[in-house]
Amino acid sequence: MHHRHKKFISLIEKWQAGKASKKELRILINYFFSHQKSNEFQETDEEKLETEQRMYKAILAELNKDTIKKKPKVKKLYLTPVVKVAIAAGIALLIALPFVLREETTSTLPSAKESIISIGTDKATLTLENGENIPLEKGKTFKNSFAESNGEELIYTGTDSIKKSTEVVYNYLTIPRGGQFYLKLNDGTKVWLNSESKLKFPVSFVENQPRSVELIYGEAYFEVSPSTAHNGTKFSVLTDVQKIEVLGTEFNVKAYSNEDAIFTTLVNGKIAWNANQQKQQLLPTQQLIFEKGTNQFSLQTVDVYNEISWRDGIFSFENKTLEEIMRILSRWYDIDVHFENPTLSAKLFNGNLSKDQHIEDILITLKELEAINNYSIYGKKVILK
């Protein structure tokens, strides 16, 4: 058996035995991008494809389990005969790509100390009602009479006097480029905020009154505390041009100011969307796309995983252009990306990336895929050639 065959099978066996290192898991993760070169490899068995998808999602979950505190549970995937067939079918493709089993060396991958481009992490700025700004990040704790943070999450509990107040007091949580943060509101609603996002929210919701927060810009995933737990009071999420009314559900809103559309994706439950005197109810797995320039909206059914995996430490791309991918990565790594060759920006990709990879890892992979010819890094400026 070819050396690469043996090594790949050995890695799969180590992963199933729970003995694979993070470096070995990263090698398996590169399977996702391998499909970009698969012109000659056409998989037709839907069961095999589905099993492969479950396999590499499980590997990603394993890679991220120590770094992501609030991700949903992932069922352990066992190496069933069907999985073995899927793996065997993929080996021919995998061994054809040198990068899949690439040994990392210090000569090709700069150390973290040599690069000023850092992997994103938990960090945010909390703005109190008096205008005071509190930096939140790992290693720093914060506590006042109604909230506390361990540097990775911010939890609002409140006091009886605040809860019974009829005056709404607002705080702001701002997530910079290269950051993310988890927030639990006073009513029990959970919010995951992505890089370059800002949320306005009450310190405490007024009892028996509608609950409302505002996503000023950016992306957020909401797990809303149900109305049945709050005397039937509805929950609303506002942006500058739309409103979402919620009874109790999970959904994702992407509303970046530098993008032409707002994407609202319903995971489960029920929401009512309205903007510009237009109304629409969403069903689970539906995504509503609102074009800010024309004030028109459209509906499509999506693979929810691709839309919400960012909160679990994974970027999942399906038919995304390199330009779209780099826009997402630029927020997480706080970089400025330029295409020296504009034709590269339109290349389409499917695949997944772990958010705890160094940007150099990703760029080297793209180069070895021949998705780009080369790249240069100057400070925080990345040039794709």
CATH architecture of the domain formed by 121-307: Sandwich (2.60)
Is the pLDDT at 68 greater than 80? The verdict is: no
Is the pLDDT at 330 greater than 50? The verdict is: yes
Is the pLDDT at 70 greater than 50? The verdict is: no
Of the CA atoms within 13 Å of residue 275, those in its CB half-sphere come to 24
- pTM here? 0.74
Give the dihedral of Cα atoms 366, 255, 198, 149; nearest 10 deg: -70
In 126-221, where does DSSP find H-type helix? 160-163
Average per-residue pLDDT in the chain? 78
Q: Distance between CA atoms of 139 and 73, rounded to whole angstroms? A: 26
Least confident of 11-15, 34-38, 58-62: 34-38
Is the pLDDT at 25 greater than 80? The verdict is: no
Q: Quickly state the pLDDT bin for 154 (edges 50, 70, 90).
A: very high
Fold of 316-384: Phage tail protein beta-alpha-beta fold (3.55.50)
Fold equal for 121-307 and 316-384: no
Q: Distance between CA atoms of 135 and 133, rounded to whole angstroms? A: 7
Convert the pLDDT of each residue in 272-304 to its tens digit: 999 989 999 999 999 999 999 999 999 999 989
Would you state the pLDDT for residue 371? Answer: 81
Residue that wins the pLDDT comparison between 46 and 301: 301
Q: Distance between CA atoms of 341 and 351, rounded to whole angstroms? A: 22
Q: Quickly state the pLDDT bin for 311 (edges 50, 70, 90).
A: very high
Is the pLDDT at 337 greater than 90? The verdict is: yes
Phi first, then psi: give them for residue 231, nearest 5 degrees.
Answer: 55, 35
Convert the pLDDT of each residue in 156-200 to its tens digit: 986 544 455 567 899 999 999 999 999 999 999 999 999 999 999
Instruction: Using the structure block, give the residue that is written with the tokens 């079918």.
Output: 89
Would you state the pLDDT for residue 22? Answer: 66
Of the CA atoms within 13 Å of residue 321, those in its CB half-sphere come to 9
CB of 348 within 8 A of CB of 321?
Answer: yes
What does the pLDDT average to over 63-88? 37
Would you state the pLDDT for residue 298? Answer: 96
Convert the pLDDT of each residue in 27-45 to its tens digit: 666 554 444 444 433 445 5
Is the pLDDT at 24 greater than 80? The verdict is: no
Would you state the pLDDT for residue 57? Answer: 63
Sequence ranges of the domains in the chain? 3-101, 121-307, 316-384
Closest CA to 2 of 105, 103, 101, 83: 101
Would you state the pLDDT for residue 79? Answer: 25
Would you state the pLDDT for residue 151? Answer: 94
What does the pLDDT average to over 72-97? 32
Q: Distance between CA atoms of 375 and 384, rounded to whole angstroms? A: 5
Convert the pLDDT of each residue in 220-245 to its tens digit: 999 999 887 788 888 999 999 999 99
